[in-house]
Structure 1
Amino acid sequence: MMDGSMGWLWIWPVFVVVGLVLLGYVAYGLVQRRGTRPGAWRLPALRTLDERYARGEIDDHTYRTRRAELT
């Protein structure tokens, strides 16, 4: 009664191992992302604001107002 289907039986443990590895990778990525500082997106915004002020694109009042909003 062996029609060759037993030859594919080895693939299910491989799928389980691959699935567990992917699950671990996703969990690790979520833990790493959680470790970043809240508000880290503000650093590039502050840098851009500083550059615009240095180039003279915005005046002192605008610079101080926007900087206060970001910090």
Structure 2
Amino acid sequence: MGPYIKGMPFGHEFSGVVDAIGSDVTHVNVGDKVTGCPAIPCYQCEYCLKGEYARCEKLFVIGSYEPGSFAEYVKLPAQNV
């Protein structure tokens, strides 16, 4: 998951309310109550190309390199909401 970064909030299980969305996002709206998947695969390595996302060689997990769900805000790709 990555090294601990001093002062960074932990947390990988969460729910919340959508505060903002990107211009291409169509399946959620600001104000929606949502949950999210904290694991973000690269979609490009040999495992991702086979649909084996849990084995992704560059798997990124919220709370490892960016603030986790104990932060005030969490940013996710649309497909993870």
Shorter-chain TM-score range: under 0.3
Larger Rg: 1
Q: TM-score, normalised by structure 2?
A: 0.19
The structure whose RCO (Cα within 8 Å, separation 6+) is larger is: 2
If the length of structure 1 is used for normalisation, what is the TM-score?
Answer: 0.20
**Greater per-residue strand proportion:** 2
From the two aligned structures, give the one with the greater helix fraction: 1
